[in-house]
Amino acid sequence: MGNLEGQGMQRAYHILQTLGLTTAQREAIMKLHLARLAKQINNA
């Protein structure tokens, strides 16, 4: 399952790259996403 999550993260990062965001903006979005995933896991 970790591999699937990794593929999803790579796909999400690629999508963010195509939006023309800066690296800092992409990283901020990914950090927010990871924080939300961690919160979901902790609440499970």
**Per-residue tens of pLDDT for the chain, all 44 residues:** 456 567 777 888 788 888 888 889 988 988 998 899 888 888 87
Cβ–Cβ under 8 Å, residues 17 and 30: no
* pLDDT value, residue 5: 63
Say how far apart CA 44 and CA 22 lie, in whole Å. Answer: 33
* pLDDT value, residue 16: 80
* pLDDT value, residue 9: 77
- Prediction pTM value: 0.56
* pLDDT value, residue 1: 42
Please report, in angstroms and rounded to a whole number, the separation of the first and last CA atoms in the chain.
16
